Amino acid sequence: MSRFQPALSAFQGTPVWVWAVLCYLLIIGIMAMHKRVVYVPRLLITPILIFGVLYRLNLSETSVVLTFMSLICGYIVGFFLTQKVPIKVINKGSIEIAGTYTTFITLMLFFCIKYAFGYLKATHPDSAFWYIFFEAPVSVLFSGYFLGAASSYLYRWYIGRNR
């Protein structure tokens, strides 16, 4: 038995839709590396999609507090990291954003963490209850990051549009 056999079996048992999500995230991340024009409402799609993965989780009061704190921390990090990214207001509804690697790295990190949680749930369902306490705050942290980034761009678009 090869020492890579456990990793290979994990990848072989992965549903096709997970690979489709990975391809989508790769495309979004690669596009974010280059200067691009973005329609302003479209900035909110990523945080809404990431936050949407939590709709089915039953959270305790402690987990809700931790989740809310993760959202705030992610928001602050996303807002301030994107303040340095140059943007240019193109017209009333679009902005030009300079390319960075931050989005690509963040999306790949999000995918890897969610993949690991999914693998652990599939292989150790008896321990899955405990993963929820970590999975929800981590997902919300990423959602907060993208929400903060979108807010930063929206704020700067609003200021630039009114000049």
Q: How do residues 134-150 score in pLDDT, each as one tens digit?
A: 777 888 888 889 899 99
> What is the reported pLDDT for 22?
92
Nearest residue to 29 (alpha-carbon basis) of 143, 131, 107: 107
Question: Of the given ranges (40-44, 47-51, 101-105, 133-137), which has the lowest mean pLDDT?
Answer: 47-51
CB 81 within 8 A of CB 149: yes
Nearest residue to 60 (alpha-carbon basis) of 143, 132, 141, 144: 132
| Cα–Cα distance for residue pair 135/114, rounded to 1 Å | 8
Nearest residue to 117 (alpha-carbon basis) of 107, 129, 103, 106: 129
Calculate what percentage of the chain has a pLDDT beyond 70: 83
- Res 77 pLDDT > 80: yes
Mean pLDDT of 5-34: 84
CB 145 within 8 A of CB 82: no
Between residues 14 and 46, which one has the greater pLDDT?
A: 14
CB 110 within 8 A of CB 28: no
> What is the reported pLDDT for 9?
67
Q: What angle is formed at CA 157 by the lines to CA 161 and CA 33, rounded to 5 degrees?
A: 135
All structural domains of the chain with their residue ranges: 5-161
| Cα–Cα distance for residue pair 104/33, rounded to 1 Å | 7
CB 120 within 8 A of CB 128: yes
74 pLDDT band (50/70/90 cuts)?
Answer: very high
- Res 2 pLDDT > 70: no
> What is the reported pLDDT for 163?
64
Mean pLDDT of 71-76: 93
> What is the reported pLDDT for 51?
66
- Res 57 pLDDT > 60: no
User: What is the three-class DSSP state of 96?
Assistant: strand
